[in-house]
Structures are given as C-alpha cells and as structure tokens.
Amino acid sequence: MSKLANDFLDASELKAKDLNHRNTINFNIGKYNAAVKNGKQQFAELTTARERAKNTKWRAIEHLDKLLEDFEMHLTRRGGKVIWAENAEQARQEILNICKAKNCKTVVKSKSMATEEIHLNPFLEANGIESVETDLGEYIQQLDDEPPYHIVTPAMHKSKEDVAQLFSEKLGTDPSLTPEQLTLVARDKLRQKYLDAEVGITGANFIIADIGGIAITENEGNGRLTTSFPKTHIALVGIEKVIPSMSDLAMFWPLLATYGTGQQITSYNTIISGPRQEGEIDGPEEMYVILIDNGRTNILADVVARESLYCIRCGSCLNACPVYKNIGGHTYKTTYSGPIGAVITPHLQGMDEYMHLSYASSLCGNCTEVCPMRINLHELLLHNRHKAVEENHTSGMEKISWFGWKQASLSRRMMNLVSGNTKNFFMQKFFNKAWGDDRDLPVFAPKSFNQLWKERRS
C-alpha cells in the first residue's frame, strides 16, 4: 500500500470521529438538500432534461478536437488568444509569462478549480506576484492557508463562528461579527485589489464552440469584476468543458444552478467572447484562454472512463456521498474530492498512487442517482478497481490472498476442512487491521450450513 493510501486511511479515521465536523457538514448539506428539492420544481421533465444534457456532452466529447478548434477560430477572430497547455507546468509558465509581460504585481482570481489543480497561487507568490482570491469562500480558505474543502462551497466545513474567529485573527475584526458583517469586511478588503490588479484570472463553467466564448456562472459578482477591471483577462479551462452551442446553456445553466446550490438560476451569468471591442465601454484590453489537458486525454482514451468528462462540477455527488460526509474534503488530498474525484484523479495523477480513492466508496449508487449528467459514477469506481488490478498496481501479497480466497470459496471440501474457530483465528490474525478498530470482525459459526444440513439429513 502506498504512503498516500496509508495517510488517507489514517486521516479518514481521525476525521470520522470528529463530531463537530460531522455536525457542521450535516447542517450545511441539510440546507443544500432542502434547496435542491425546491430548485428541481422548475423542470417539467427533469429526467428528460438530464438525459438530453448527457447526450449533448456525449456529442461534445466525441467531437472534442473539432469543437475546440472551432472555439479557437471564433475567439481569435474577435481578438482573443488561445494557448494550449499539455500539463500543469506549462499552464503555470504561460500564465507567468503573461504576467511578466504586463509587469504584473497583483492578480485577482475568481473561483476556479482549474487554478487549484495546477497550484497557481503558491507558484505566483514564489515569483513575487500577489494572488488574491475574490470568491468569499476561497478568500476564507486563503486566509486560513487551506485548499478548498468542496468543489462548489470551499469553506463548507467552517461554521460562522469559525469564520468570525478567523477574520478576528487575520484581519483584526470583532469576533462577534455576523455573517452579513463579515461579508462586508471581505468586500471592503477586496474592492481595492480589483483596482490594483494588472491581471484577472478566472476559470470557466463552459467553453462555447460556435461563438468562441466562455460561460461563467456565479452568485457574488466577483467573476465580472475580475474580468472587467484588470486590463488583462486570463481564463484557465479544462478541455472537457466544451459544449457545441450557446443555445445549450439554456439547459446547462439551470441544471448546474439547481444541483450546485438549489437555485433556479445563479445571480450572475456571463458570456465572454473576447477582449473589449471597438465602441464597448468596459472589459479587458487583452484576453487569453488557456486550454489545459493535464491528464484529461488519459480519460478520453479510456472508452469506459470517458463518461466522467461529462461532469459539470456541480458538487452534488459530494453532498450525497456517505463517505465524503464522514471523512470530509481535505482527507482526499486532491483537488477534486468525493465520488467524481475518486473517479478522475487516478487517471489525472496516476493509478498507482491514487487507486485507493476508488475503494473509498460504499458503492451505494447515490452519487449516480443525484448526478445531473447521469454519469454512472459507482460503475466507474468499479472500473477503476478493475483497471488497477489489470495493470498490476496491487501488491503480490494481495493477489496471493485473493487467489487463495477464490480457490477455497470454489471448493466445498476446502470450506469444510477447517472449523469456524480456525477461520475466526485467521480473521483475527490477518484481517483485523484492515477491517478497522471501530467495527467488530464477522464471526464464523462453529459449523457451516452445509455441515449442519448433512448432519440433519443423516
């Protein structure tokens, strides 16, 4: 077992016993569940909408090469620039090159999981550039020097008292401030940063191929400020975010809002298709879109796992997962946590190091049930487990153990050869640690049903 797997098990055991964490998460997810129930009522035929959205993403991923080229052609015509980055290192370097060319000292960022994926903030700071998160949840996490806890709600694990105490320690505010007052404090701190920043960096929820635009959906307005105030706008987007047409947003935006936050539609929905045009009064002077692969073509090459590229990053599978709700987002030590993270991370960062995530599931199927794109997440977790075995990422001892188990299970004579007490001894000796300290090992009866049946019949 790898060091990452051992660390994951140790961290999971500690977090699962943290009752304060569990109470906070259950409270926040409970509010989310109530909101989603109301949000779904906007759909006359929800299942049909989800199926159509999945079919649209299927077409987009199957024609990914052409649609991305269409996007580049249309964006370039309007003065935008497209950069292709094969991995995280290339993406970071391209961003740094742009920042250096603009003599950039300060960068403002709206919420972006792609920038978290390439660890952009510490990279920029190491090169003398201040990088400021402007999404409130991300800003809270940055103050606490923590990565996002959740795909959609980065500070879900913090109560309002935790945030008030954090602001008091980092910003010198009154620890008794209300959430509304804390929001105003953050707004006051961040507004000047928009004016100071030479470069604004965003992600994108969707890449729109037919118009050469990116679509951003949010609730705070920081995305619009990030793309409007600085003279240069950089959007870092995974290549899988493409959709064929702007008309598809009428289906994807409501689905993302409903399953992401329980809203019918988010407060700010923006389409950006290039830098400021002649006659326009706002917008950046230059716009760069960096299309990042960083392992996504590994998923594309796997015909079964390819379905995971349909994900629109709503986070609903995290909120539904009993494992995630007990061990939390930081335990995974990956950018993408929960069921979708367990599916895609082994392909993005290596099966050998991250295959343990695909075993961190009860396979209850709730993630598949709640996914707006109807991705068969629990089946993809099984696919990853099969792939790990087929590619010999499991240990020799594990293979020998399962081979022995299989042979014994296929032979009634071998099953009856040893008594229940002997089986219990082997369970205690070899499986006690793997089974965990918090639950009792199963106990074998002194005699098997087969033996009891024979005795009864005789």
Neighbours of 219 (CB within 10 A): 16
Mean pLDDT of 75-91: 97
Mean pLDDT of 370-387: 96
In this predicted structure, the answer to whether residue 421 has a pLDDT above a threshold of 90 is no
Neighbours of 373 (CB within 10 A): 25
Q: pTM of the predicted model, to two decimals?
A: 0.90
In this predicted structure, the answer to whether residue 436 has a pLDDT above a threshold of 70 is no
Mean of all residue pLDDT scores within the chain: 93
Across 187-201, 226-240, 395-409, least confident range: 395-409
Distance CA 286, CA 275 (A): 5
Domains and CATH numbers, the chain: 1-42+308-394 (1.10.1060), 68-294 (3.40.50.10420), 396-457 (no CATH)
Q: What is the pLDDT of residue 1?
A: 66
Mean pLDDT of 371-394: 93
Q: What is the pLDDT of residue 446?
A: 83
In this predicted structure, the answer to whether residue 399 has a pLDDT above a threshold of 90 is no
Percent of the chain beyond pLDDT 90? 81
Q: How far is CA 287 from CA 113, 227, 241, 267, in A?
A: 19, 9, 18, 24
> Could you report the per-residue pLDDT of 123-155, keeping only the tens digit for each?
999 999 999 999 999 999 999 999 999 999 999
Q: What is the pLDDT of residue 166?
A: 96
Cβ atoms of 253 and 218 within 8 Å: the answer is no
In this predicted structure, the answer to whether residue 364 has a pLDDT above a threshold of 90 is yes
Mean pLDDT of 238-261: 97
In this predicted structure, the answer to whether residue 407 has a pLDDT above a threshold of 90 is no
Cβ atoms of 232 and 198 within 8 Å: the answer is yes
> Could you report the per-residue pLDDT of 104-130, keeping only the tens digit for each?
999 999 999 999 999 999 999 999 999
> Could you report the per-residue pLDDT of 442-451, keeping only the tens digit for each?
888 888 888 8
In this predicted structure, the answer to whether residue 282 has a pLDDT above a threshold of 80 is yes
How is residue 210 written in tokens? 């037919």
Across 320-346, b (16+ Cβ under 10 Å) vs e yields: bbebbbbbbbbbbebbbbbbbbbbbbb
In this predicted structure, the answer to whether residue 260 has a pLDDT above a threshold of 80 is yes
Listed in sequence order, the DSSP H helices in 118-159 are 120-126, 136-143
> Could you report the per-residue pLDDT of 29-54, keeping only the tens digit for each?
999 999 999 999 999 999 999 999 99
Q: What is the pLDDT of residue 284?
A: 94
Give the distance, in angstroms, between the CA of residue 304 and the centroid of all CA atoms in the same chain.
Answer: 19
Mean pLDDT of 278-300: 94
What lies within 8 Å, CB to CB, of 447 at 6+ separation is 419, 420, 455
Across 397-412, b (16+ Cβ under 10 Å) vs e yields: eeeeeeeeeeeeeeee
Across 60-69, 237-246, 425-434, least confident range: 425-434
Q: How many CA atoms lie within 13 A of 262 on its CB side?
A: 13
Decide which of 129 and 426 is more confident.
129
Q: What is the pLDDT of residue 354?
A: 94
Across 70-79, 284-293, 348-357, least confident range: 348-357
Q: How many CA atoms lie within 13 A of 47 on its CB side?
A: 1
Beta strands 286-292 and 232-238, pairing class: parallel
Q: What is the pLDDT of residue 146?
A: 96
In this predicted structure, the answer to whether residue 233 has a pLDDT above a threshold of 90 is yes
Q: What is the pLDDT of residue 397?
A: 74
Which DSSP helix (H) or strand (E) runs through 324?
helix 322-327
